[in-house]
């Protein structure tokens, strides 16, 4: 969402012309989706599965 500014090559043109060509990434869309879920969604699913496994192991009796 926040783009770091690097060196701007104006190629002999003005700085404003060079800035018009730069398009920062969108903040409201996921950069990558796998099977319809963003990486944050997959992280939540994996965390829930691991938490359930840890709870099951913690409550298991030998």
Cα 43 to Cα 61: distance, rounded to the nearest angstrom: 29
The answer to the question of residue 7 being in a domain is no
Cα 20 to Cα 55: distance, rounded to the nearest angstrom: 53
Q: Which domain holds residue 49?
A: 15-59
The answer to the question of residue 54 being in a domain is yes
The answer to the question of residue 32 being in a domain is yes
The answer to the question of residue 21 being in a domain is yes
The answer to the question of residue 8 being in a domain is no
The answer to the question of residue 24 being in a domain is yes
Domain count across the chain: 1
Each residue's pLDDT expressed in tens, for the chain with a length of 62 residues = 555 555 555 566 666 766 777 777 778 888 889 999 999 999 999 999 999 999 999 999 76
């Amino acid at each position: 969402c926040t783009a770091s500014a690097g060196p701007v090559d104006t190629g002999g043109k003005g700085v404003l012309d060079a800035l018009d060509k730069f398009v920062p990434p969108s903040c409201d869309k996921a950069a990558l989706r796998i099977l319809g879920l963003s990486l944050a969604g997959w992280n939540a699913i994996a965390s829930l599965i691991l938490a359930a496994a840890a709870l099951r192991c913690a409550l298991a009796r030998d």
